[in-house]
Amino acid sequence: MVEGLDVVKDLTREDFAVYDENRLQKTLYFGRDAEPVSLLLVLDVSGSMKKYVDQVASVARDSLRHLKPGDKVAVMVFSKTSMMRCGFTEDLDAVASDIRNAKWEERLGSGTAINDALLEASKYMRENAGETSRRSIVILTDNLGLNYKSPDDKLIQSLYEADTVVNALVVGKGERPAPVRPGSYRNPDFTPPDVFHIADETGGEAMQAGHAAVSFPEMIERVRTRYSLQYHTPEDGKSGFRTIRVELTAMAKLRHPRAEVRARKGYYLTR
């Protein structure tokens, strides 16, 4: 929940309206900062990224101070392929050390396969995050590369199934890809990365960073200070994808007219 560049921290249960398939739901649980966080840091270590990984490493331990007891962090690196460097741990000194030692390795190959890396990250979340924590991925990347037979919709479904939010720290020349012009053709097997879209769909945010050492601590703070709202799935709900919409109530909008709610766009229901 942000207003301008600031996180709005004074909202209550009564300030939110939650819709499932456009039907208003009763919020059964509301909280902020209460649940532990399982945070997976996904670092792009392709050739163009070395200085930005070094910038994050320089502030990693201080940035992780925003986390609380019970939170756990893991580290993955990727270029053409991905590799776990550090599994989930509460030892934040070990995490910071691992980030400092992250570097390009020949076995990861030459290239930048962002969607493939996030697919591996979502799988790791499903298998290792546990049932009682909020799940968040923070990816550091310049959003440059090419996805081969790894479309966004497949990735987003995997992230929904893993109940995981993606936040992106976009550095260098990374920008949101331009939409396909009407009448033009784009080979669906070769698509440009778009972490902006992936973050939007999962309820996270993509932050363009001039200097990663400045933006990384802010991103970690934002991950830790998110609101949580829970409701019962409607009993008549059909299996498959169901949309979610979260809005501020009219009174809350009066208090925060520039605020923007960032929430996941839906979930998959199996019966």
pLDDT at 4: 45
Is the domain of 57 the same as that of 133?
Answer: yes
Rounded average pLDDT over 32-44: 90
Judge if 71 and 134 occupy the same domain: yes
In this predicted structure, the answer to whether residue 163 has a pLDDT above a threshold of 80 is yes
pLDDT of residue 104: 66
Domain residues for 87?
37-224
Together in a domain, 56 and 6: no
User: Which pLDDT value is given to residue 166?
Assistant: 98
Asked if pLDDT for residue 1 goes beyond 70, the answer is no
Q: Are residues 118 and 219 in the same domain?
A: yes
263 and 172 assigned to the same domain = no
User: Taking 90 as the threshold, does the pLDDT of residue 107 lie above it?
Assistant: no
Number of H helices, E strands in the chain: 7, 17
Same domain, 79 and 173: yes
What pLDDT, on a 0 to 100 scale, did the predictor assign at position 105? Answer: 67
Do residues 82 and 204 both lie within one domain?
A: yes
Is there a single domain that holds both residue 98 and residue 13?
no
Global pTM? 0.92
| Total tally of structural domains belonging to the chain | 2
Q: Which residues are within 8 A (CB) of 213 and not within 5 positions of it... i.e. 6 or more apart?
A: 55, 56, 58, 59
24 and 156 together in one domain:
no
Give the residue from 50, 65, 16, 82 showing the smallest Cα distance to 229: 16
- Do residues 159 and 124 both lie within one domain? yes
Which is nearest to 249 in space by CA: 4, 5, 30? 30
Q: Are 117 and 206 part of one and the same domain?
A: yes
Q: Give the length of the chain.
A: 271
Q: What is the DSSP string of 192-212?
A: ---HHHHHHHHT--EEE-SSH
Judge if 254 and 146 occupy the same domain: no
Average pLDDT over the chain, rounded to an integer:
90
Which CATH number fits the domain that encloses residue 131? 3.40.50.410
Answer with the residue of higher pLDDT: 8 or 1.
8
